[in-house]
Amino acid sequence: MKLDMDMENIAGSTDQKYQQIYVQLSGEDGNTGAIMARVARALKDEGVTVVEVNNFRREIFNADNYDHVLRIVQNWVSVG
């Protein structure tokens, strides 16, 4: 399943922990696991600590639904 949506319409915080890290979500696999892996890889590639990457993963695992996953991602990184 490809993720093709306007990320501006997902309600959430505009303050990202790692605003300088950009992850392309639109047009990519929209599976929650694929999204988590893509963001975790971007965090690691940019030198984010293992502890922080694990904190991100923990938040994703505890998400209530798909929209919550997208809000979490947007709270961590810049997306498009």
* Contact (CB, 8 A) for 20 and 77: no
Q: Which residues pair with 18 in a beta bridge?
A: 77
Provide the 8-state DSSP code for 7. G
Q: Say whether 18 sits in a helix, a strand or coil.
A: strand
Q: Which residues pair with 28 in a beta bridge?
A: 3
pLDDT in tens, 21-65: 999 998 888 899 999 999 999 999 999 999 999 999 999 999 999
Q: List the domain range (segments joined by +) for residue 19.
A: 2-79
* Contact (CB, 8 A) for 21 and 56: no
pTM: predicted TM-score of the whole model, two decimal places: 0.80
How many structural domains does the chain have?
1
> DSSP secondary structure string, 52-64?
HHHHHHHHHHT-S
